[in-house]
């Protein structure tokens, strides 16, 4: 496991007692790179922007089209969703559908992926969906 992965798993393993005080699972919201992108403090190629959702190009694209969709609210991973995040997640999925249509991916098909935790290959501790398309994608993933 990478050092980053180990650090994040250790952080994720900690109690959520800091929630609501600028921390989620002991990760400072100031330090989260996707929170920084959502606040406009880090550059990104934004392709969709609404009040509580954002989509931007992945820095290291794995297919001709590779976009990340995030809630602006800091949620560390799918495993950290609360029951009342259902509406937000539904809108995130609809935003992915609309973006795929706008990018001309819907007819040929595409893949929507959420990596969760260390074994899932998650490297950024802010919930995100990968929208991948523009070429045939193999299965199963590595």
Burial of 109 (0-12, 13-18, 19+ CB in 10 A): exposed
Distance CA 3, CA 5 (A): 5
115 lies in the binding site for ligand AMP (CB under 6 A): yes
Among candidate residues 65, 74, 126, 128, the one labeled active-site is: 128
2 lies in the binding site for ligand AMP (CB under 6 A): no
Binding footprint of ligand AMP, residue count (CB under 6 A): 13
Instruction: Answer yes or no: 128 catalytic.
Output: yes
Choice between 53 and 68, CB closer to ligand AMP:
68
> How far from each other are the two terminal CA atoms of the chain, in whole angstroms?
15
Burial of 92 (0-12, 13-18, 19+ CB in 10 A): buried
Choice between 106 and 124, CB closer to ligand AMP:
124
Distance CA 69, CA 3 (A): 25
Binding flags for ligand AMP, 57-96, as an x/- string (CB under 6 A): -xxx-------x----------------------------
Choice between 89 and 124, CB closer to ligand AMP:
124
Residues recognised as catalytic: 128
Q: Could you list the residues that contact ligand AMP (CB under 6 A)? A: 33, 42, 44, 56, 58-60, 68, 115, 121-124
């Amino acid at each position: 496991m990478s050092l980053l992965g180990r650090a994040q798993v250790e952080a994720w393993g900690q109690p959520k007692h800091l929630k609501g005080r600028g921390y989620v699972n002991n990760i400072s919201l100031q330090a989260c790179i996707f929170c920084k992108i959502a606040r406009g403090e880090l550059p990104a190629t934004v392709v969709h922007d609404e009040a509580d959702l954002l989509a931007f190009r992945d820095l290291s694209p794995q297919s001709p089209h590779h976009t990340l969709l995030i809630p602006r609210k800091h949620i560390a991973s799918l495993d950290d969703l609360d029951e009342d995040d259902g509406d937000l997640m539904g809108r995130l999925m609809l935003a992915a559908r609309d973006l795929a249509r706008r990018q001309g991916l819907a007819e040929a098909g595409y893949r929507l992926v959420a990596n969760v935790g260390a074994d899932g290959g998650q490297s950024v501790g802010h919930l995100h969906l990968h929208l991948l398309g523009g070429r045939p994608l193999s299965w199963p993933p590595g």
